[in-house]
C-alpha cells in the first residue's frame, strides 16, 4: 500500500508533497515551495518573486515551508514580514500553507486572522497545551518520526481529531508505513481507514492528488 507523505525532502518519492527549494529545478511531482526562515537572506525578495511564479504551476499544491524560528539569530520582524508575504500570496492563489515553527507558536496564531486558506503546522512535536491551542485556532498538525518514540506525542495524537491530522517523513530517513502503523494503532483503526481519512483531509485543504 502506498501511503501519502504530507511533507518530505526526497525527490524520488512519488506520493506526497515534496518540499522544493526556490533555487531548485522544478519537479513534475506534487510539491510546495517557500522560503524557510533559515534561508532568508538579502535576496529574499528576489527569491520570493520566483516562488510566486513557480507556485502557479498546477502541481504546486501548497506554499511553504515557511514560518517563524526562535532558534535562529535572524531578526524576528523580518521573519514575520517574510511569513506574512507567503500567507498573503497563498490567499491570492488559494493554496494552503505548510508552516515551520520553532518556539514561536504564540506568534504564529495571529496569522490565522490574515489567512483565508488552511494552515498546517508541519513536524509537530510539542506539548499538549500547544496542540490544543493550535487546534482551537483551526490549524492542522502534521506529525513525523517523533511519534514513534515520544509517549507524550502519542497521547496527544490519541486525542487529536483525525480530521486535523497529516503524517510526514520530513527530512528523516524511515519508512512512512511505520508512522501510519503507529498512528493507526494509537487511534484503534486500520491503516487503510487511517489513510482514507488523511486523503479526505487533503481534499479539505483542498489538495487534489
Ligand atoms: Zn521539512
Residues near 178 by beta carbon (within 8 Å), at least 6 away in sequence: 148
Residue 209 has pLDDT above 90, yes or no: no
Q: Domain-by-domain residue ranges, the chain? A: 5-204
For residue 172, report the distance from its CA to the centre of ligand 1, in Å: 9
Residue whose grid cell is 510546495: 32
For residue 19, report the distance from its CA to the centre of ligand 1, in Å: 7
pLDDT of residue 1: 84
| pLDDT tens digit sequence for 65-85 | 999 999 999 999 999 999 999
Q: Alpha-carbon dihedral of residues 109, 110, 116, 120, nearest 10 degrees?
A: -20
Which among 3, 7, 4 has a CA at the least distance from the CA of 123?
Answer: 7
Residue 176 has pLDDT above 90, yes or no: yes
For residue 1, report the distance from its CA to the centre of ligand 1, in Å: 24
For residue 131, report the distance from its CA to the centre of ligand 1, in Å: 19
pLDDT of residue 3: 97
**Mean per-residue pLDDT over the chain, rounded:** 97
Neighbours of ion ligand 1 (CB under 5 A): 170
For residue 171, report the distance from its CA to the centre of ligand 1, in Å: 6
Query: Cis link prior to 153 (omega < 30° from 0)?
Result: no
Residue 208 has pLDDT above 90, yes or no: no
What's the mean pLDDT in 25-50?
Answer: 96
For residue 169, report the distance from its CA to the centre of ligand 1, in Å: 8
For residue 125, report the distance from its CA to the centre of ligand 1, in Å: 13
What's the mean pLDDT in 142-163?
Answer: 98
The superfamily in CATH containing domain 5-204 is Metal-dependent hydrolases (3.20.20.140)
What is the band of 61 on the pLDDT scale with cuts at 50, 70, 90?
Answer: very high
Alpha helices (H) along the chain: 44-54, 76-93, 105-108, 111-114, 128-136, 151-159, 176-187, 191-204
Strand 119-121 with 165-167, pairing = unpaired
The answer to whether residues 25 and 168 touch, using CB atoms and an 8 Å cutoff, is no
Residue 158 has pLDDT above 90, yes or no: yes
Alpha helices (H) along 26-103: 44-54, 76-93
What's the mean pLDDT in 117-134?
Answer: 97
Query: CA–CA separation, 199 vs 190, rounded Å?
Result: 14
Find the angle CA(170)-CA(107)-CA(88) to the nearest 5 degrees.
75
Find the angle CA(199)-CA(14)-CA(67) to the nearest 5 degrees.
70
Amino acid at each position: 500500500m502506498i501511503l501519502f507523505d504530507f511533507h518530505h525532502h526526497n525527490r524520488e518519492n512519488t506520493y506526497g508533497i515534496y518540499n522544493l527549494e526556490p533555487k531548485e529545478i522544478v519537479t513534475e511531482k506534487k510539491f510546495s515551495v517557500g522560503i524557510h526562515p533559515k534561508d532568508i537572506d538579502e535576496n529574499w525578495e528576489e527569491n520570493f518573486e520566483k516562488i510566486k511564479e513557480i507556485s502557479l504551476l498546477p502541481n504546486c499544491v501548497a506554499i511553504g515551508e515557511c514560518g517563524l524560528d526562535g532558534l535562529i539569530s535572524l531578526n524576528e520582524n523580518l521573519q514575520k514580514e517574510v511569513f506574512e508575504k507567503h500567507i498573503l500570496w497563498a490567499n491570492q492563489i488559494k493554496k494552503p500553507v505548510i508552516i515551520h515553527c520553532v518556539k514561536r507558536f504564540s506568534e504564529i496564531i495571529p496569522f490565522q486572522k490574515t489567512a483565508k486558506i488552511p494552515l498546517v503546522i508541519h513536524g509537530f512535536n510539542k506539548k499538549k497545551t500547544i496542540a490544543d491551542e493550535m487546534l482551537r485556532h483551526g490549524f492542522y498538525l502534521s506529525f513525523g518520526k517523533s511519534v514513534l518514540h515520544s509517549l507524550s506525542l502519542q497521547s496527544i495524537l490519541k486525542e487529536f481529531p483525525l480530521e486535523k491530522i497529516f503524517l510526514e517523513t520530513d527530512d528523516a530517513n524511515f519508512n512512512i508505513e511505520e508512522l501510519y502503523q503507529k498512528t493507526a494503532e494509537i487511534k484503534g483503526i486500520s491503516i487503510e481507514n487511517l489513510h482514507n481519512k488523511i486523503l479526505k483531509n487533503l481534499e479539505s485543504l483542498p489538495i487534489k492528488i
